Structure 1
Amino acid sequence: MTRGRAATAKRLETAQPSGGQEPLVVYFDDIGLVRDLFGHYDANLAVLEEQLGIEAVVNGNAVALRGPREACVAAKVILEHLYNRLAQGETIGVGDVTGAIRHASVSDTSEPGTLKPKAQQIKTRKRVITARTPAQSAYLACLEKNDLVFATGPAGTGKTYLAVAFAAAALEAGLCDRLILSRPAVEAGERLGFLPGDMRDKVDPYLRPLYDALYDTLGSERVERGLDTGMIEIAPLAFMRGRTLSNAMVILDEAQNCTAVQLKMFLTRLGEGSKMIVTGDPTQVDLPKGQDSGLFEAIEILRGIDEIGHIAFANSDVVRRELVGRIVEAYDRAGNTDRSKAAHSPANTLAESDSDIPESGKNR
């Protein structure tokens, strides 16, 4: 240990309350990266403290970790992993820290700065995107393996963003010729002709989340150039009929708002050399009353077919921020309560009682 490190370690040890176990001290070489690693006002360390139940004390380019031994070892592995990502030019935020915690394996600490299972990554023109949850890693692996992938789950799990990032990376790498984005325009009833402007003007409001992801991964200039040349195509679902989409990355977002007929039509557009990604949130079906979503029927019908995969995200996979996850869970609880009340309502109870009456005893 160098004289500087020895002095730092001494200060860290004396800063701890007496009577406890020795802290696990982690050192980093680049003080500039350390500032980004710990976060503004040590916000990233605060996440580690809260979620792992440890205490982190900073002194220069070192941090002392105190708490349950396994949790401290996990925090050390996470910090080294995030530091290595910073050294490779990535940026780190609170969401990345939370994602690293989810990926951390306390039992595998033999290789410094690594997590197991290793998080999948996508390298795009603007940035490297690292999966923040094991489910996101499984999603990216599923996209690599299969030609048709369904991704379902609540808002904030990264279904759409990762689909666009994966497709953008494939386009940049020359693995496909075109990127085609589609989404049902439920609010307009798929009847877009009466809306003002050209086709892009008509569908822009419905596809804004896809644009946001494109701009974040490819940059605005690249996206605008791709739209002008046709390399990136925005196509409303209603205009997909009769086409064969070859050598393309095709994304259908908000697929829970497709009927069975619409979704079958879309899925059968898949041509040679293409991949198709279909995303949807089972809790946000906006179809008119009396129309069922075709997404869940399609997943069930196509289950077990080679080259078709399905990733189902859970509430625990929400990565936007912790509050969003709590909001989703609260709505789920409220929905379950409403269904329970409906099942035990007087009308349903009467109907169930009436169903027990023999046919000969009814309508007397």
Structure 2
Amino acid sequence: MVTSAPPSSSHPHPDTAHEVLLEFPDNRLLIDLCGEYDRNIADIEQKLGVQILRRGNLLSVMGEEASREQAAAVLTALYDRLETGRSVESADVDRELRMGPSDQTDPGGQLEMFSGGKVEIKTRKKLVEPRTDAQKAYVQALYEHELAFGIGPAGTGKTYLAVAVGVSMFITGQVDKIILCRPAVEAGERLGFLPGTQEEKVDPYMQPLYDALNDFLPGKQLAKLKEEKTIEIAPLAFMRGRTLSNAFVVLDEAQNATTMQMKMFLTRLGEGSRMVITGDRSQVDLPRGVPSGLADAERLLSSIPKISFNYFTARDVVRHPLVAAIIEAYDADVPAI
């Protein structure tokens, strides 16, 4: 339980009137809340412009009223998380700072998992939680729509969250298989002919999808599911002629699909399936003059109510903070006409 107290008159800080005291009964959980070398506290101080001091089992938060109230809310939410037996990592601190207090209403009125504000995607290895409001809306769209688009810059979790939802639906029996694919287009480099079998030739292009799956499924189980073809990772070209029923299907790097490839892929959707298309309009690697199938799909399908389009910006980047700054710098550098 966390309680707030009035400012301490004995504290020598000159801004004593601008102080919130939070009491944390369990000192062991308080240590976890502060993080190794008080890393979590330092993150909150830096991002909110407050000062946080520890006094026994109390944390004193000082600063401007809005900032200290937000810091107090973040600390309280993280401590509540620890009380439920979960850990607090830097990603959890980042999520609370970005998203703020949970809205206790169901934004869509349809899914029980959204009724408490918090959204958790359960996989075999970890719980995955959206870290921005845009990510939360995206996850909700993946559950509510049979066909969903996630469009935005690198590092915003478009593919990662889609694969997490796919794994969650698979282990709960909502779909029978997972199919992940992407166009085998080189990113500005000519790699030439690669040695090995067909699978060995395309694996380098598919590695980001393998990385995501390895985060959610134990290695032996993943290998078994791949061997049984219950999980497939393949180039986009391999989808031609198939009808994908009772499957969770993800097309990654969709900006590198041509218009005809995109149409081919979208028409593979079968009964009981979910389809997710992710892409970044700023990273098209198609030959000059070849239009992106993602742009055409966005133009042609955005008016269809049963298809969702979710957009991300640099504010939703959840990789290293420098990634967001790099994206913003490139976006700002618009060539003069």
Query: TM-score, normalized by length of structure 2?
Result: 0.88
Structure 2 residue matching 1:272: 3-state secondary structure: coil
1:38 counterpart residue number: 34
Query: Structure 2 CA distance, aligned partners of 1:316 and 1:206?
Result: 27
Structure 2 residue matching 1:230: 3-state secondary structure: coil
| 2:175/2:247 contact within 8 Å kept | yes
1:110-259 to 2 correspondence within 5 Å? 118-187=117-186, 195-259=194-258
Cα 1:40–1:14 change in 2 (3 A) is: farther
1:267-306 to 2 correspondence within 5 Å? 267-306=266-305
Query: Structure 2 CA distance, aligned partners of 1:217 and 1:197?
Result: 28
2:75 to 65, 74, 79: 79
2:311 counterpart residue number: 312
What's the RMSD between the two structures over aligned residues?
A: 2.8
Q: Quick check: 1:64 aligned with 2:60?
A: yes
Residue 145 of structure 1: CA displacement? Answer: 0.8
Which is helix-richer, 1 or 2? 1
Residue 14 of structure 1: CA displacement? Answer: 4.0
Cα 1:247–1:266 change in 2 (3 A) is: same
1:345-356 to 2 correspondence within 5 Å? none
Q: State the one-letter code of the partner of 2:242.
A: R
Query: Structure 2 CA distance, aligned partners of 1:121 and 1:202?
Result: 36
Cα 1:188–1:200 change in 2 (3 A) is: farther
Work out the percentage of aligned pairs sharing the same amino acid.
46
Q: State the one-letter code of the partner of 2:58.
A: A
Cα 1:67–1:196 change in 2 (3 A) is: same
Q: State the one-letter code of the partner of 1:274.
A: S
| 2:6/2:20 contact within 8 Å kept | no
Structure showing greater Rg: 1
| 2:126/2:216 contact within 8 Å kept | yes
Q: State the one-letter code of the partner of 1:148.
A: L
| 1:256/1:280 contact within 8 Å kept | yes
1:25 counterpart residue number: 21
| Farther off after superposition, 78-87 or 172-181 | 78-87
Cα 1:198–1:86 change in 2 (3 A) is: farther
Residue 95 of structure 1: CA displacement? Answer: 2.9
| 1:119/1:132 contact within 8 Å kept | no
2:92 counterpart residue number: 96
Cα 1:123–1:212 change in 2 (3 A) is: same
Cα 1:19–1:265 change in 2 (3 A) is: closer
Provide, for residues 281-318 of structure 1, a one-character-per-residue CA deviation record: whole Å limited to 9, x for no partner. Answer: 11111111121111011012111213210101011111
Q: State the one-letter code of the partner of 2:232.
A: E
Unaligned runs of 5+ in 1: 109-115, 344-364
1:53 counterpart residue number: 49
| 1:196/1:202 contact within 8 Å kept | yes
Q: State the one-letter code of the partner of 1:257.
A: N
Q: State the one-letter code of the partner of 1:80.
A: T
Query: Structure 1 CA distance, aligned partners of 2:57 and 2:296?
Result: 55
Query: Structure 1 CA distance, aligned partners of 2:91 and 2:248?
Result: 28
Query: Structure 2 CA distance, aligned partners of 1:97 and 1:117?
Result: 19
Cα 1:106–1:257 change in 2 (3 A) is: closer
Residue 16 of structure 1: CA displacement? Answer: 4.4
Q: State the one-letter code of the partner of 2:87.
A: T
Structure 2 residue matching 1:235: 3-state secondary structure: strand
Unaligned runs of 5+ in 2: 105-114
Q: State the one-letter code of the partner of 1:229.
A: E
Alignment: residue pair count? 323
Residue 185 of structure 1: CA displacement? Answer: 0.5
Cα 1:262–1:135 change in 2 (3 A) is: same
Cα 1:23–1:239 change in 2 (3 A) is: same
Q: State the one-letter code of the partner of 1:52.
A: L
Query: Structure 1 CA distance, aligned partners of 2:286 and 2:187?
Result: 11
Query: Structure 2 CA distance, aligned partners of 1:107 and 1:185?
Result: 41
Query: Structure 2 CA distance, aligned partners of 1:79 and 1:239?
Result: 49
Provide, for residues 202-249 of structure 1, a one-character-per-residue CA deviation record: whole Å limited to 9, x for no partner. Answer: 221111111111111112222111111111111211111000000000
